[in-house]
Amino acid sequence: MKGGTVPTWLELLLTTQFFAICTNHLFSNRNECNLFCIDCEESKGAFCYYCRSDHHSTHRVIQCR
């Protein structure tokens, strides 16, 4: 972060709603949306453990606790 620039993913992270139940994996364990991908340009917000396995397995992901 040279020169005081803020990464675009940081603004998305700060406005993302976390800890909801994943609508794609309602009846699975670990379905809480507490992960955020910093590599995806078109981030759709938080996602669960299973969504990470499906779509973000090679990306850099932040887990909110």
Residue 44's φ and ψ, nearest 5 degrees, are: -105, 20
pLDDT in tens, 4-61: 788 889 989 999 999 999 999 999 999 999 999 999 876 678 999 998 887 888 899 9
Residue 50's φ and ψ, nearest 5 degrees, are: -75, -35
Q: What is the DSSP letter of 2?
A: G
How far is residue 39's CA from residue 36's CA, in Å, rounded to a whole number?
9
Reported confidence tier of residue 65, pLDDT bands at 50, 70, 90: very high
Mapped onto helix, strand or coil, the DSSP state of residue 21 is strand
- The reported pTM is 0.83
